[in-house]
Amino acid sequence: MASSASPDIMKGRFKESGMNIELFEDRLIFVDAYSQLMGAPSLEKYIVQDPDNIYNFSKELMRSFKESPPSTIVFGSLSTIMDLCGEKETIEAVRIWNMMAKLCGHTLVYYFTAWPYSNEVMNCINKELFNSVVCVDGMTERMALDQYCKDT
């Protein structure tokens, strides 16, 4: 789910970090929630037409769940979605996304930056929405991503 950078930029970041995405580029699918926000065209199959409306995120995500084989889906920035669509709306949508992903055999990974959100939101993030929460800093994040991509 590309929400804070274009899919092309994200692909470039993979390559910059030494990950050879060409080996699985035919299976690398982006739900583009960035291009429309910037008024730019997108070549992706799944495009969120109005990224400040959580319903549009859900619509494209559900379509990708149904049309794709079981896979790992990475959200580039859950905090960006939350900032665009609202905290409560996003949390409710995430509950649905998690349930639907499980039913369709997908695994969801969310990147989240802990900006100064309310205690209620942070408690929900840390204790309710996810099976686990891993806190990383810049260097640890890079090492974790590198290792994950080498192992898969």
- C-alpha–C-alpha distance, residues 118 and 79, integer Å: 13
Residue 4 gets which letter from DSSP? Answer: S
2 domain residue, yes or no: no
Report pTM. 0.79
Mean pLDDT for the stretch of residues 68-86: 90
Q: What is the pLDDT of residues 100-126, one digit of tens each?
A: 999 999 998 888 888 899 999 999 999
* Residue ranges making up the domain that contains 69: 7-151
Domain membership of residue 1 (yes or no) is no
| Predicted local distance difference test score (pLDDT) of residue 90 | 97
Q: Decide if pLDDT at 26 tops 80.
A: no
Please tell me the predicted confidence (pLDDT) of residue 13: 80
Structural domains of the chain, count: 1
Beta partners for 110?
Answer: 75
What pLDDT, in 10s, does the model give residues 35-54? 888 999 998 888 999 999 99
Domain membership flag for residue 42:
yes
Based on DSSP, count helices (H) and strands (E) in the chain, helices before strands. Answer: 7, 4
Residue 78 lies in a domain: yes
Indicate the helix (H) or strand (E) that contains 152. none
Q: What burial class does residue 71 get, using C-beta atoms within 10 Å of its C-beta: 0-12 exposed, 13-18 middle, 19+ buried?
A: middle
Give 71's DSSP letter: -
- Closest by Cα among 78, 72, 76 to 27: 72
- Confirm if 143 and 15 have CB atoms less than 8 A apart: no
